[in-house]
A = this chain, B = another copy of it.
Amino acid sequence: MTLADVAAHAGVSRATASLVLRESPLVAEQTRQRVLASVEALGYVYNRGAASLRMRRTNTIGLVISGLANPFFADLTEGVEEELRPAGYVVLLANTFDDPAHQDMLIRSMMEHQIDGLLIVAAVDSDAGFVTPLRNNGVPHVMTTRRIRGVHASYVGPDDDAGARLATQHLLDHGARELAYFGGPEHGVARIDRVAAMAALLAENGLEPEPSWTVPSRVSSSEGYAMARKLLEHGPPPEAVICHSDAIAFGLMRALRDVGVEIGTGCRVIGYDDVEHAQAWSPSLTSVSVAARTMGRRAARMLMERIEAPGSSPEESLVLRPSLVVRESCGCRPSSAH
């Protein structure tokens, strides 16, 4: 069932039938109706693959992400899809599970599928070279969420400096003096930037981060729990802790509860990402919100603009300012329910 069949059925040429499908104004109304009727009658399905070959454009964009199980990335993915779909693009998805070698393979696979552009949340320990195949083949690409040292590419991500300062300032306002930054991938740019921002702001107040609790970790709730339990064996927690992610914060809070520390008074906790469960937790979790869905949409939009721009557009970088969603875990009163 091809366009040739439709054309034959309608008594026109392939070229005309093709023009009808593409809603060209060249074709006469009467012919148009006839062709459309044939399409309907034969149950013809457009073959985008064939068209792509000729047009050198697939209307497909790749999304390479470190893992959907992380709700932050699931949200981001939804945002990407929401933005691309109405523009006629379709998303090819791939999970790297934060493995750089796997990531290289996936990028290659996407290129073989002739994606029009690539969105990528780079694996934490990515080698800076992962973008070179993209650059060499002129595949438009946008990195998001994570910045990789040494990689020059367009980027959409959160302002980690601002986020860390927001949280730190709030804790200082509560009168806390001992602050720590808990968890996160050791060499990740996000952790490094946030710790630096926190330290800078503390320094302005004659303080410094509590070293024994300012330690890296993997980004999961159970990891946060295990690490917190271990640290709690050696003494009480600091007055206030900013966690690298909400998941880690949940783990920390569980550990604190185990040893009888009251959250919000005995230890003030702030999370990062503001995932859906943050408000449902008890006590509800104060968190730095970076609006994953919005970030996905913005990154997708930037990519589309770059795809549609003629020639090569200059590298650009969009930084979104996070906000602090204040709830109970930092020691503030519960706001009106819901």
Contacts and interface: CB of A to CB of B under 8 A. Distances in A.
Interface of A: 43, 45-50, 52-53, 58, 60, 63, 67-69, 71, 74-75, 77-78, 81-82, 85, 90-95, 108-114, 136-137, 221-222, 225-226, 229, 250-251, 253-254, 257-258, 276-277, 280-282, 337-338
Contacts of A257: 282
A132 to B, nearest CB: 10
B69 A69 contact: no
Given A92-B90, A225-B280, A46 B112 contact: yes
Contacts of A43: 136-137
Contact of A74 (B50, B69, B250): B69
Contacts of A81: 93-95
A230 to B, nearest CB: 12
Contact of A48 (B112, B225, B251, B253): B112
A144 to B, nearest CB: 16
A50 to B, nearest CB: 5
A337 B253 CA distance: 14
A254 B282 contact: yes
